[in-house]
Structure 1
């Protein structure tokens, strides 16, 4: 159960008054402009079906109040339909969570899947069945649902997303066992796919990265209103943890995904820090995330 909900004894007193909901509040957008077809209704039906499974499936046994549902987005750009019912797409997966005492939403996961290929039959509902492979599209959606939940849980409690991330990995194994693996499900030359994303997150060598997720969010951003200097110190410690992971395993998808989600936020968070914190942040960030160096340069000029 998510730590935010409170202790069981108190919860039980209010149970009749509370409304429980599924874990995700997912916005789904299917862009089909690149595909030439006569009847475009199939893409609206596809969008509705994907939204239905993402938002109306109970993925875990955890209790979520309606306002606690994890905000996420799937932007699916269909690139082609080589044959009837088979689609090739790029998909961006984004999830966020609120920060304590503010109206600010921080991005937890930002990942682009360039190998999002699937079969879809119009008017056929998508249903998730645990430990069962039903279709590549259902597998893709359930994989990302559990990845989103796992990373969100990690941000609220240290290593709290272990069960959900293990389920994402189980889905990956089911796809491969069913002989249905396509690009993105295997450890091929593409190291920025879903196989490597979940592999990184469950690898013991990446435990510091997952611990940093908690330190950065729960003891960093969530503390910013109450004690900004301490919050930034904890965020710096989170960056040091990520630095150690990056030194052991350079260029990994999980580390890159973190900075794709956080680079602008980090630059803004340290913009009003003490000179010493700015210097530490700049040195850490430019070392572990050189791609976004231009975003961090102003830290030395303020």
Structure 2
């Protein structure tokens, strides 16, 4: 029975000096083993249904042997119905991906147990990836996975074993706030928009592009409502980091009225990427 994830793991150690560089390859292999060979849920996945994801870890420093400070980029995607196109569902950069790694101690996930900072990070993002993917296929479908991610967060904080990014005080764009957003009742319109955008928007684009774009506009209005309540929220920023180019392309051949609606919504919710959207009024 296939596991949930098909995860490509890359550990970049160029910034770290070490006499034994084999440790970095072993680290990469161990992380890949956890992500790809752990069964995270009781759901049944066929091999071709596994969620495609990538985990890029850039080691910044090794203050002492076995202790690493890193940045990590977590990306997951899913196919769109009737096309060969893969859409990014989650794109998140974690600048506090700090952990310990000892080659002699194998990484192993144990439910409801805090085993190590690295295992906690990996399992947190595994459940976040699964939750976001489930939200894209069913309205609020990721609730169970987000609960598991929250259990991990609570285990880390109760153990005192985390090195940053697990609490509300670190910054507003860390993993704590990403999960907080996804579990906040105020964000239900955002999570409902994930379903509308993917299942009723992108998945419909091949067969009925006019209806698909109308549904994407509906999804954007839901995100707009949440953005007005919680400007700069981590989940919303993550969404547009993943989707800004895709959104501009989706309305590239839309009717003038749809282009205008899309432009007004996008530049209001996502002013950072306004240059990408300006082209909608020039075509």
> TM-score interval w.r.t. the shorter chain?
over 0.9
1:185-196 maps to which residues of 2 (within 5 A)?
A: 185-196=166-177
- In the alignment, what sits opposite 2:91? 110
Q: Is contact 1:97–1:108 with CA below 8 Å preserved after alignment? A: yes
CA distance in 1, matches of 2:46, 2:98: 33
Report whether the alignment pairs 1:300 with 2:281.
Answer: yes
Tell me what 1:229 maps to.
210
Q: Please, which runs of 5 or more residues in structure 2 have no aligned partner? A: none
Determine the structure 1 residue equivalent to 2:196. Answer: 215
Structure 1 unaligned blocks of 5 or more: 1-19
Match of 1:12 in 2: none
**Partner of 1:21 in structure 2?**
2
Measure the CA separation in 1 of the matches of 2:136 and 2:104. 37
Q: CA RMSD in A?
A: 0.6
Alignment-derived partner of residue 132 in structure 1: 113
Out of 235, 252, 270, the residue aligned to residue 271 of structure 1 is 252
Distance 1:62 1:71 in 2: 16
Is the partner of 1:116 in helix, strand or coil? coil
Partner of 1:35: 16
TM-score w.r.t. the length of structure 2 is: 0.99
Does the aligned pair in 1 maintain the 2:4–2:39 contact within 8 Å? yes
Deviation at 1:123, TM superposition (A): 4.1
Deviates more, 1:122-131 or 1:243-252: 122-131
Give the alignment's TM-score, normalised by structure 1: 0.93
Deviations along 1:182-212, one digit per CA (max 9) or x if unpaired, are 2100111410000000000000000011000
Q: Which residue of 2 aligns with 1:17?
A: none
State the distance in 2 between where 1:125 and 1:100 align. 39
Change (3 A) 1:61 1:222: same
Q: Which residue of 1 aligns with 2:272?
A: 291
Instruction: Show structure 1 runs of 4+ deviating over 6 A.
Output: none
Partner Cα distance (1:141, 1:189) in 2: 19
Q: What are the equivalent positions in structure 2 for 1:1-302 lying under 5 Å apart?
A: 20-302=1-283
